[in-house]
Structure 1
Amino acid sequence: MSDVEVRQLRYFVAVAEELHFGRAAVRLGMAQPPLSRAIRELERHLGVQLLERTTRQVALTPAGAGLLRDARTALDAVEAATQRARNAGRTEPALRVALKADFDAGLLPRILDEYRRDPAALPVEVLLGGRGEQVTALRAGRADVALLPTPFDERGLDFEALMTEPRMAALSASDPLAARTELCLADLAGRTLPNGDPADRETRNFLPPARQLDLAQIFNLIELGSMVLFTPVSVADRHQRPTIAYRPVRDLAPTTLMVAWPQQSHSPAVAAFVRVCGTVAATIFPPLTSQNSVTSAV
């Protein structure tokens, strides 16, 4: 890393993602002046300007954008190496499965039941997290395998499709749109999704919102008419409320539930889990042609 310290990269990534020194300092648990000095020191060391600073905003220069991309990769590699070393030293190995609560299409209990019968199975630790945290956990070595909906950042991961299902719009039962039996995206103009995107121009970007909300919080905001949510049918079925209306949106893309794992994984326990995921999904839903083959990657 050209004698650049991991600490400096962490500082830079925080500032580059927040684009605000104050928020980055709070995120890092430090005061703002030493953070500013550390970034200036990094710029002097590299001989390039990484950030454009004005009294109103902070912006990345082209050099800063490039370093942000590479710094994330480097930090992920460092964290993953550290975590793998810790895992290797554990006296009781386990398979760590990451997912967002309820975003398993109801498959996880059956998957776990079948997996326990496999000769290669390990005890399972389920790691619940917010939307988008599963990919980070895989790259950082905190999880061995994940169940997650599309889209997600596929870099460095192998994955297999399990099932595809439509998504519906969850909106307040008092919303005038709730009187309709079907919607289109254009009908949702003026309404906002939990990540801040306009509901009628959903981008489905990979980044989770800056402040993660759980489903209970999101539903409370929907009830108040503050936002709408696009959710898989399986999640809508689990969370029926008289104050929430679920309506199909005819031009809303469906979502596919995937099982994903790091490309460098050669774990028999991961391979067994992926096989079981495919078998269980195929008994409930029509088989899908996977984008990657488990036998070629694990």
Structure 2
Amino acid sequence: METRELRYFLAVAEESHVGRAAQRLGMAQPPLSRAIAGLERRLDADLFVRTPRGVSLTSAGETLLREGRAALRRGRGRERRTRRTAAAGARAPVILTAKAGASSELMAKLLDAYATEPDAVDVEVVLSPPGHQAAMLRDGRADVAILHQPFDDTSGFDLDPLTVEDQVLILPAGHAASARTEMTVAEATSIPDLPLPRWPHLDGTYPDGPGPELRDLTQVLQLVRLGRTALVLPESARANLRDGLAVVPLTDAPQVTTVIAWPPHSTSPAVAGLVRTAGRL
């Protein structure tokens, strides 16, 4: 399937109307309709249900919508990484993205170990809010990512697991709940005066809820000390906590698997070297 055809299909699917899609694409409606009909013939599948008011996706269309968006993101990612390598040459730095404040000890070990490799290049670390790392890897803003299952979408990536650990609740020392020896997730998320923080969506907006709007763990830990919120983190976070905070294990929280992820089509020797180093930690 040509990229042009895919863009045509996505425009019609997102607009739910061929005429509006044609306006968006800057083309006439008849050739767009013909292109979509030709695509359906070649795939031997109806992608849309046509009505006088517009179009809606069939189950086959829903599948192509998901796969098509992913394919375009991969294409943009390859283009961006290629341009960056062309501009910087063979010694282009590897861009590693991770959640701000998360896995800091693990990343320090990884970067220190990789720096001793004979073919090591510079590693540029980009810290961003939770949930943004996979998108950065898909669209080419990053070459490698530290992700956390089951919370991050790792579909379509190659990955190696690094650590598996339980989760704990971080809350202010002296709070009544800090005396608990363990807690369930339901209990942790329903402490009236400690609503969990809200993290931004990819578009910068925040979900509704009573918790504070935050972007990184350094910010949220200060608010935990002030008694404004609590926080669920992997157990390894204990090592970086200072005074004023308490930790309560969560008995029924899913385990967190920290992984290093990279695009499956990557041919970068530097990325391969960083991944090999991670596997030896």
TM-score, normalised on structure 2? Answer: 0.68
The residue aligned with 1:286 is none
The correspondence of residues 60-71 of structure 1 with structure 2, limited to 5 A, is 69-70=66-67
Name the SS for the 2:251 alignment partner: coil
Structure 1 residue ranges without an equivalent (≥5): 17-36, 53-59, 197-205, 282-298
**Is the partner of 2:257 in helix, strand or coil?**
strand
- Find the aligned partners of 1:145 and 1:188 in 2 and give their Cα distance: 33
- Secondary structure in 2 aligned to 1:171? strand
Alignment of 1:35-184 (within 5 A): 41=23, 69-70=66-67, 72-92=69-89, 93-104=92-103, 106-151=105-150, 152-173=152-173, 175-184=175-184
- Opposite residue 170 of structure 2, the aligned amino acid is A
Q: C-alpha deviations, 1:161-219, integer Å up to 9, x for none?
A: 112222210123354211212222242352443348xxxxxxxxx98984352123323
Residue 253 of structure 1 aligns with which residue? Answer: 254
In terms of mean alpha carbon deviation, does 225-234 or 142-151 score higher? 225-234
Partner residue, 1:273: 274
Q: In 2 relative to 1, CA 113–215 (structure 1 residues): closer, same or farther, beyond 3 Å?
A: closer
Q: Which amino acid aligns with 2:236?
A: S
Shift of 1:61: 7.2
RMSD: 4.0
Contact map agreement 2:189 2:196 (CA 8 A) in 1: no
Q: Summarize the Cα distance change of 1:209–1:251 in structure 2 as closer, same or farther, 3 Å threshold.
A: farther
Question: Measured at CA, do residues 209 and 249 of structure 1 come closer, stay the same or move farther in structure 2, by a change above 3 Å?
Answer: farther
**Contact 2:159/2:261 (8 A) holds in 1:** yes
Local SS of the residue matching 2:87: coil
Deviations 1:102-149 (A, max 9, x none): 322512223222212323322211111111222112111221112222
Q: What is the SS of the residue equivalent to 1:213?
A: coil
- TM (norm. structure 1) is 0.65
8 Å contact from structure 1 (residues 171, 227) kept in 2:
yes
Residues 99 and 208 (structure 1 numbering): CA distance in 2 closer, same or farther, change over 3 Å? farther
Q: Identity across aligned pairs (percent)? A: 31
Flag the 1:61–1:258 CA change in 2: closer, same or farther, 3 A: same
Matches within 5 A, 1:278-293: 278-279=279-280, 281=281
Counterpart-to-counterpart distance in 2, 1:259 and 1:158: 8
1:194 matched residue in structure 2: 197
User: Matches of 1:246 and 1:207 in 2, distance apart?
Assistant: 30
Instruction: Sort the Cα spacing of 1:119 and 1:251 in 2 relative to 1 into closer, same or farther, 3 A.
Output: same
Instruction: Look up the SS of the partner of 1:259 in the other structure.
Output: strand
Report if the CA contact (8 A) 2:169-2:232 is conserved: yes
CA contact (8 A) 1:132 1:208 kept: no
Q: Distance in 2 between matches of 1:175 and 1:235?
A: 19
Q: Structure 2 CA distance, aligned partners of 1:144 and 1:107?
A: 18
1:111 aligned counterpart, secondary structure: helix
Which of the residues 227, 230, 233 maps onto 1:228? Answer: 230
The within-5 A match list for 1:6-45 is: 12=14, 41=23
Q: What is the number of equivalent residue pairs in this alignment?
A: 241
Between structure 1 and structure 2, the one with the greater Rg is 2
Structure 2 unaligned regions, length at least 5: 37-47, 207-213
- Tell me, what secondary structure is at the counterpart of 1:88? helix
